[in-house]
Amino acid sequence: MTRTLREELNLLSKQVFGTSSKWQKLVNDGVKEPYERERKVMVPTSTGLREKSFVDKKSVLRRYSVEEVKKLMLDMVEANKKNKESLA
């Protein structure tokens, strides 16, 4: 990673999150995100087989790449600009 890219990411992070190192935490440590999956299973009953649906819920650690974090922060900066313009 080049120094200019790191400085650019630090500046974007400062604008978006209020701290210049938050992007590094997203890349290195990741973020816990909820994950939900529905699965269907055939269950035996007294009258025969019946399809039953189960929902599995868990937290998954999502690690972002540098490119994903940069795109995320740029999108947030654009959204903030649009919100400020709509309020004015």
Task: Give per-residue pLDDT as tens, 54-85.
Answer: 999 999 999 999 999 999 999 999 998 888 88
CA distances from 10 to 23, 29, 70, 85 (A): 7, 17, 10, 25
The pLDDT value recorded for residue 88 is 65
Computed over every residue of the chain, the mean pLDDT equals: 91
Q: Which residues, 6 or more positions from 59, have their beta carbon under 8 angstroms from its beta carbon?
A: 32, 33, 34, 35
Whether 50 shows a pLDDT value over 70: the answer reads yes
Q: What pLDDT is attached to residue 86?
A: 81
With contact defined as beta carbons under 8 Å apart, do 23 and 10 qualify? Answer: yes
Contact 60, 35 (CB under 8 A): yes
Please give the pLDDT value at position 36: 95
pTM for the whole structure: 0.68
- HSE (CB half, 13 Å, CA atoms) of 15? 17
